[in-house]
Amino acid sequence: MLEKQSESVGVIGLGIMGGTIARNLVAAGHRVIGFDPDAARCDEARAAGVEIVDAARMLIAEARQILTSLPSSEALDQTVAAIGGVSESERRGLVVAELSTLPLSCKQANRERLDGAGVVLLDCPLSGTGAQALTRDLAVYASGDAEACKRFAGVFSGFSRVNHYLGEFGNGTKMKLVANLLVAIHNVAAAEAILLGVKGGLDPSTLCEILASGAGTSRIFEMRAPMMVDESYEPATMKLEVWQKDMALIREFVADCGVSTPTFSATEPIYEAALEAGRNQQDTAAVYAVLQNCSK
């Protein structure tokens, strides 16, 4: 059994986002225990000072505060099943902050399962990319039990720049989907503007520098414009194949709310064209290449 410490934090899922979060928490002075089924990810985290366990249930026995950063609904279902499989004494006082962007229906169903097991689940998706996670430039959209969210304030500050509390469970995911709708639009708008300027004969570097300082800029422009100008889309800060999952969630939320979103809808075929061109592993900035191919 690992030696317990008061500042122990568990991280389940050590991928691009979860692994970076775990490393930042170690750097911030937390004892971090991690689990991931991928051995290579575990090795990377271990090298940064994260204590690795062989199963999620072993991690649950070591920490009262757990972060989950997972790739799919199935992964969350499996994690919740593991939590439910430990003894009642090990579950006592456990709070889980779910950081992934997943269907709200999945999070709500798993919240009910954990509530029956005496465990609090929070809905706390993140705004930001893997590249932003490296510099702790993330925003936490926390929702759920207010007191439980307060308990996580110190943990959140170890890997993010701001923590927003949004009230009832599920509001975090709703806010993330609204924010991602803007990301989808801003990304394509940045590509469109840069291509217009370049085709019009403007110097690409000067174009990006001036646009970044003007009224039309955005965080997405500032991050993705250099990639577009250089036509360099790897390594990805957000892979197109992963982004399509988020696009589907936005589309579902839009339909549920009955809102007209013509600008968002106009971006969808552009992202789909990038995937059809075999750019699955490239950054979403690769929509610039799609627009290039559509231009004279």
pLDDT, position 192: 98
> In the prediction, which pLDDT does 198 show?
98
Average pLDDT over residues 38-42: 97
Q: Check pLDDT > 80 for residue 2.
A: no
Per residue in 153-184, pLDDT tens?
Answer: 999 999 999 999 999 999 999 999 999 999 99
pLDDT at 4: 40
Of residues 67, 13, 72, 75, the one with CA closest to residue 45: 13
The string of pLDDT tens digits covering residues 224-279 is 999 999 999 999 989 999 999 999 999 999 999 999 999 999 999 999 999 999 99
Q: What does the DSSP assignment read for 261-278?
A: -HHHHHHHHHHHHHHHTT
The whole-number average pLDDT for the span 185-201 is: 98
Q: CA separation (Å) from 41 to 16, 17, 100, 133, 137?
A: 9, 11, 17, 16, 22
Question: Contact, 68 vs 12, CB < 8 A?
Answer: yes
User: How confident is the model over 63-79, as pLDDT tens digits?
Assistant: 999 999 999 999 999 99
- With beta carbons less than 8 A apart as the criterion, state whether 83 and 96 touch: yes
- What pLDDT is attached to residue 85? 86
Residue range 108-154, pLDDT digits in tens: 999 999 999 999 999 999 999 888 999 999 999 999 999 999 999 99
Amino acid identity at 237: T
Average pLDDT over every residue of 14-30? 96
Segment 207-234 mean pLDDT:
96
User: Which residue blocks in the chain are alpha helix, DSSP H?
Assistant: 16-27, 39-47, 56-60, 73-84, 88-91, 104-116, 130-134, 146-151, 153-157, 171-199, 204-212, 219-230, 240-257, 262-276, 287-294
What tokens does 213 get?
A: 């300082």
Give the containing element (helix H, strand E) for 30.
Answer: none
Distance of CA 91 to the CA centre of its chain: 26
For the chain, domains (ranges, CATH) are 8-169 (3.40.50.720), 177-294 (1.10.1040.10)
Binning pLDDT at 50, 70 and 90, where does residue 295 land? very high
Whole-number pLDDT of residue 296: 76
Can you say whether residue 154 is alpha, beta or left, with left for phi > 0 and alpha for psi between -120 and 50 degrees?
alpha
Residue 86's pLDDT band (cuts 50, 70, 90): confident
| pLDDT over 90 (residue 90) | no
Helix (H, G, I), strand (E, B) or coil at 44: helix
Given a cut of 50, whether residue 84 has pLDDT beyond it is: yes
